[in-house]
Structure formats: C-alpha cells, structure tokens
C-alpha cells in the first residue's frame, strides 16, 4: 500500500509495537496507518538475522497476550525462540489480524512536524510522500539504530562486511573464509559460536569482555506448554507482577548475597547457572544494588570461565572485571567453549585498538589482520537513536533533538512536553528494555488507545505533558537508577557507547510500579498532561 492520506493515528514502525498499535487502534474504530522502513513486519526480528540470533526471554513469555486464541494456537518449538521462528510468529500475527493492509513497507520516515493550527502531525517520507494524523505514535524500537564505529578506511575494504542489526536475508557464506567479528555484546556472543563453526579462521576483536550465562536452550516439552496454556491469562498476570515483567516461574530470591554462607551462596548461583538465562541475576536480591554482593556473582562467573576455557591466558582475557548485569547480561550457547577451538583467536582491542580498516582487512596499533569478512557486532544508538534520526518537530518548530540535547526528557516515557499528541511506545523513561519488551509494548499500546478514546469522547484536540510533570518524572527515573549500580558502567542504557551522547540512564526499573503509575494518571483524567 502506498503512503498517503489523513488518519486519526499514524504509527512509525511495524515491529511488535507498531503491529499491535495498528490492531488496537482499529479495534477502537480509529483510522490508522503505519509506516515501516523494512520490507515486512517484525522490526528487530526483521533486521537482526545474524547467525545464532535468538531471544533472551523465554518464548512462552516473549509473545502477545492480547488474544487468547492467538496464544493458544501458536506453538513455540524451543525454550528460547530463534530469530526465524519469531519472524514467522510476526508474519502469522500480521496475516491473522490482516494488519498489512494498513501498513506501508519500505517506507522510511524523514520528518514529522506538528501543525499547530490544525492540531495534526504532518509526516513526510524519504520518497516524498506526505501523510497527516491527529496522533503520532512512534514504535521504532529501542535497539534499531545500528552503530557502526567510524573506523577510517571502511570504504576501501575489499571483502564483505555487515552489521548484525542489518543482516541480509540471503545470509553470508563464511565457509573457507577468514572472518573478523568486532564486538562482544549479545550479538557477538550469539553469533561467534555459529560463525566459528563455519569459518576457516575467526578473529574475535574484544574491547570489553562480556558476562554471559548459558541459555541451556532446548526443545519445549509438550507438558510444559500444556501447563501454561491451561491458564495462559494467569501466567501473564503472574509475570506482570515481576520487576522485569518476566520469569514468574523462577522469581527473584529475596535474600542478600551477603546474608548466606559461602557454600549456600555457591549452591544458589550454581542452581541458577544450571537453569540458565537472565534469571541468574535473581540469585539474590542485592546483586544490582550492592557492589560487594555483585562482586560475588561476578567472581562466580569468572570461575566458570576459567573452568571452561582451556588456555589460562585466553580465559584471563575473557574474564570481565566490571559490574555484572550493569551492561545487559548476555545469554549464550557455547560462547566460552568456542575459544577452545583451533580456528578461533581472541584479539584484545582495548590494549591495542583498531586504527583502520584496510583493503585487505584491518589494522590495530600492533598488528594487521587479513580478512575476507568483517562482522560489526557493535551495537546500537539505543533508546533515542531511532527517534533522533527522524526530524521530529513540535510546537514552534522545536526539534526533538534540541529538546533532548541534555538527554531524553519524557513524562511516563510516553509523551514529551512541547510535542502534543505524540506517543512514544517504550520510550526513554519507561521500563522498555528492562522489562519483557512484548509485555511493555502491550501495556503502552493499551494505555495509548485508552487515552485517545478518552480524548475523543470529550472532544479534546490535544494532549501534552506539562513541563512540571515531565521534570518530576525525569528526576524520578534518575532517582530509581541511582538506587542501583546501573549508572556505574559504560552501557548503552546510559548512552555511553555512543561518542558525544549525553550520559543519562534511559530505562526505568520496576514494571509493576510503573503500570500502577500509568493507571493512576489515567484514572485521574490524565494527571500531569494538559488537555486542550
């Protein structure tokens, strides 16, 4: 469908947020249209097709709960779903609810300007199309603006290169090739074991070692699925009460790591390690609050690394010294053991940084590497990057990038003062990446459509956060973060991975309390918003 026309609601993005927004807006009788840069639905799972890409949230949880028929019908095959399976799920949802008729694909939004006279958003695409909507909803993902470090010489590279978050659907053939992977966050940690099995030689360029725990991925047993499907709504409800909106089957152990004996501590860490996944950080209640407790968990993982990796020197270089969980914990399948392979070499680019990409490969301050392929697993301009790449202008032509020059400022992570009728699904200042994203998305969409209905039944043209409510919210989000160890390391949560980006902790920890606040705001007639 080509992009033109006037709508009640315009949506940017057709990943999990945009898809449900389209569906929900329709259910509320709104004329809605979504614009999507990709060639089909899926968002993150459309773009991140790199080898080994897999969700780090369990599949029975990382799925929509808005339709009981959907959650009963869909069958997940593995504990953690692979990228192709999640993309197949997105395709199924789009077909089942006939979403594609209200989505324009391969349509990149260039600008969105609020027309104050008409109280409408005017959206222009790269192809020059123009659309308008009373409401603009951004559903552009928290990890969608790929970050490729500006190494000099990339344009001269004679081989093939790709960023993990822009992986071609046709894939890359690594057989018989010398491959370099730059970056050891989740994308590197997931792809490195798979690429190592295909390439002739793999160089892993590591700047900061990551903490990763085993996924212990496996086929889902029919029994497990049956037990959840017997009362899926109750399972969803239990998860929504968890701090991260997931993991109710193995919740936080509400005990300090410092309050138990060394043997008991080891036993509990081991139990979580054996179960696998992000729940490791729930071994004790103070791992992300108390540096001494955190160090105990970090030391446990370092011991595991030394046990798995045969060469003590390589093991030493793989051992992180930073706060565990401060950067997002990775979940892997065979990552550390990959470094026991003869065809894999770990290169420390903290000690000797990459200086340039050459025609033949790349060069560090110490050595030149001949490469046929370079994989950039170098992450994203997270949380705000996708928004700031669109020229968004609010009242008086104010660019969003100016309003956020000192870091993102929102109310509830849903609205921005000076930008009326703009809603930001999983925006900065909301739980987003610190929660199960699908649950976070559904909560936002339900809140937004409820809000729009409230406005329309009362004949309100515009809604916009007050500056006071927004200031108080920004302070609240920072206070919550300051209560934890999160602000102490250079993570993408803080924008610290992007040169020049203002260091502000962007997501909000604590899904259940956040939901309560959103519901209270709505119940009080959208307290903290000006309704005009």
Residue 327 Cβ, how far from ligand NA7 at the closest point, in Å? 6
Distance, CA of 452 to CA of 276 (rounded, Å): 41
Residue 73 Cβ, how far from ligand NA7 at the closest point, in Å? 28
Report the 10 Å Cβ neighbour count for 363: 17
Angle between helices 222-229 and 232-240 (to 10 degrees): 80
Residue nearest to ligand NA7 according to CB distances in the complex: 185
- What radius of gyration do the chain's Cα atoms show? 23
Choose between 314 and 522: whose C-beta lies nearer to ligand NA7: 314
Residue 12 Cβ, how far from ligand NA7 at the closest point, in Å? 20
Q: How far is C-alpha 419 from the geometric centre of its chain's CA atoms?
A: 24
Map residue 359 onto helix, strand or coil: coil
Distance, CA of 35 to CA of 313 (rounded, Å): 50
Distance, CA of 132 to CA of 136 (rounded, Å): 9
Choose between 121 and 493: whose C-beta lies nearer to ligand NA7: 493
Choose between 212 and 449: whose C-beta lies nearer to ligand NA7: 212
Contact criterion met (CB below 8 Å) for 492 and 378: no
Choose between 364 and 388: whose C-beta lies nearer to ligand NA7: 364
Distance, CA of 143 to CA of 379 (rounded, Å): 8
**Residue recorded with tokens 């027309």:** 115
Work out the burial of residue 321: count CB atoms within 10 Å of its CB; fewer than 13 is exposed, 13-18 middle, 19 or more buried.
exposed
Residue count of the chain: 532
Contact criterion met (CB below 8 Å) for 189 and 332: yes
Q: Where are the beta strands (DSSP E) in 302-381?
A: 330-332, 344-348, 354-357, 361-364, 368-370, 373-376
Strands, sheet with 201-206, edge to edge from the N-terminal-most edge strand: 160-163, 373-376, 178-182, 201-206, 344-348
Choose between 20 and 205: whose C-beta lies nearer to ligand NA7: 205
Choose between 315 and 357: whose C-beta lies nearer to ligand NA7: 357
Residue 208 Cβ, how far from ligand NA7 at the closest point, in Å? 3
Residues 6+ apart with CB under 8 A from 21: 9, 11, 32, 34, 137, 139, 425, 445, 448, 449
Choose between 193 and 528: whose C-beta lies nearer to ligand NA7: 193
Distance, CA of 114 to CA of 134 (rounded, Å): 9
Choose between 465 and 495: whose C-beta lies nearer to ligand NA7: 495
Choose between 416 and 437: whose C-beta lies nearer to ligand NA7: 437
Distance, CA of 166 to CA of 50 (rounded, Å): 8
Residue 148 Cβ, how far from ligand NA7 at the closest point, in Å? 9
Residue 243 Cβ, how far from ligand NA7 at the closest point, in Å? 17
Residue 309 Cβ, how far from ligand NA7 at the closest point, in Å? 18
DSSP assignment, residue 37?
S
DSSP β-bridge partners for residue 364 = 354
Choose between 5 and 149: whose C-beta lies nearer to ligand NA7: 149
Choose between 99 and 245: whose C-beta lies nearer to ligand NA7: 245
Residue 500 Cβ, how far from ligand NA7 at the closest point, in Å? 14
Residue 323 Cβ, how far from ligand NA7 at the closest point, in Å? 13
Choose between 290 and 348: whose C-beta lies nearer to ligand NA7: 348
Residue 331 Cβ, how far from ligand NA7 at the closest point, in Å? 9
Residue 257 Cβ, how far from ligand NA7 at the closest point, in Å? 23
Residue 186 Cβ, how far from ligand NA7 at the closest point, in Å? 4
Contact criterion met (CB below 8 Å) for 376 and 164: yes
Work out the burial of residue 296: count CB atoms within 10 Å of its CB; fewer than 13 is exposed, 13-18 middle, 19 or more buried.
buried
Residues binding ligand NA7 (CB under 6 A):
143, 149, 164, 182-188, 205, 207-208, 328, 349, 354, 377-379, 492, 497
Rounded to 5°, angle at Cα 325 from 323 and 330: 125
Q: How far is C-alpha 398 from the geometric centre of its chain's CA atoms?
A: 28
Choose between 50 and 411: whose C-beta lies nearer to ligand NA7: 50
Report the 10 Å Cβ neighbour count for 51: 19
Residue 508 Cβ, how far from ligand NA7 at the closest point, in Å? 16
Pairing of strands 361-364, 354-357: antiparallel
Choose between 164 and 421: whose C-beta lies nearer to ligand NA7: 164
CA torsion sign, 245 to 250 to 254 to 259? negative
Distance, CA of 70 to CA of 276 (rounded, Å): 28
Residue 350 Cβ, how far from ligand NA7 at the closest point, in Å? 7
């Amino acid at each position: 469908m080509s992009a033109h026309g006037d709508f009640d609601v315009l949506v940017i993005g057709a990943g999990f947020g945009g898809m449900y927004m389209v569906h929900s807006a329709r259910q509320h009788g709104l004329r809605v249209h979504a614009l999507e840069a990709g060639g089909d639905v899926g968002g993150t799972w459309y773009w991140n097709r790199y080898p080994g890409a897999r969700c780090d949230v369990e599949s029975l949880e990382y799925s929509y709960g808005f339709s009981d028929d959907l959650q009963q019908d869909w069958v997940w095959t593995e504990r953690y779903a692979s990228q192709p399976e999640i993309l197949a799920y997105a395709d199924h949802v789009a077909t089942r609810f006939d979403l594609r008729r209200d989505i324009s694909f391969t349509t990149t939004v260039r600008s969105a300007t609020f027309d104050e006279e008409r109280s409408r958003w005017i959206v222009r695409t790269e192809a020059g199309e123009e659309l308008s909507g009373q409401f603009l909803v951004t559903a552009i993902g928290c990890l969608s603006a790929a970050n490729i470090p500006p190494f000099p010489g990339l344009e001269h590279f004679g081989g093939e290169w790709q960023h993990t978050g822009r992986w071609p659907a046709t894939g890359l053939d690594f057989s018989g090739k010398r491959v370099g992977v730059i970056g050891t966050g989740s994308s590197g940690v997931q792809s490195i074991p798979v690429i190592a099995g295909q390439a002739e030689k793999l160089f892993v360029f590591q700047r900061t070692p990551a903490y990763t725990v085993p996924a212990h991925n496996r086929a889902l047993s029919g029994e497990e699925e049956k037990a959840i499907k017997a009362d899926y709504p109750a399972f969803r409800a239990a998860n929504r009460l968890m701090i991260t909106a997931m993991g109710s089957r193995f919740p936080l152990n509400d005990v300090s790591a410092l309050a138990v004996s060394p043997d008991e501590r080891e036993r509990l860490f081991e139990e979580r390690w054996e179960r696998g996944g992000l729940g490791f950080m729930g071994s004790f209640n103070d791992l992300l609050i108390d540096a001494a407790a955190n160090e105990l968990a970090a030391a446990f993982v370092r011991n595991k690394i030394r046990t798995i990796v045969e060469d003590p020197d390589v093991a030493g270089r793989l051992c992180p010294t930073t706060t565990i969980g401060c950067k997002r914990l990775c979940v892997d399948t065979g990552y550390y053991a990959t470094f026991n392979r003869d065809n894999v070499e770990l290169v420390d680019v903290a000690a000797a940084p990459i200086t340039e990409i050459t025609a033949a490969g790349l060069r560090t301050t110490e050595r030149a590497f001949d490469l046929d392929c370079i994989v950039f697993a170098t992450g994203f301009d997270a949380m705000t990057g996708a928004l700031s790449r669109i020229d968004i202008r609010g009242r008086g032509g104010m660019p969003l990038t100016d309003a956020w020059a000192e870091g993102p400022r929102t109310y509830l992570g849903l609205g921005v003062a000076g930008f009326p009728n703009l809603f930001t699904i999983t925006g900065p200042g909301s739980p987003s990446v610190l929660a199960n994203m699908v649950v976070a998305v559904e909560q936002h969409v339900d809140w937004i459509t409820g809000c729009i209905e409230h406005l329309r039944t009362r004949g309100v043209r515009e809604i916009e956060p007050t500056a006071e409510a927004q200031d108080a919210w920004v302070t609240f989000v920072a206070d919550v973060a300051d209560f934890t160890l999160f602000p102490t390391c250079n993570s993408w949560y803080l924008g610290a991975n992007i040169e020049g980006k203002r260091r502000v902790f962007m997501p909000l920890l604590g899904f259940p309390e956040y939901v309560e606040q959103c519901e209270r705001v709505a119940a009080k007639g959208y307290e903290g918003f000006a309704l005009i």
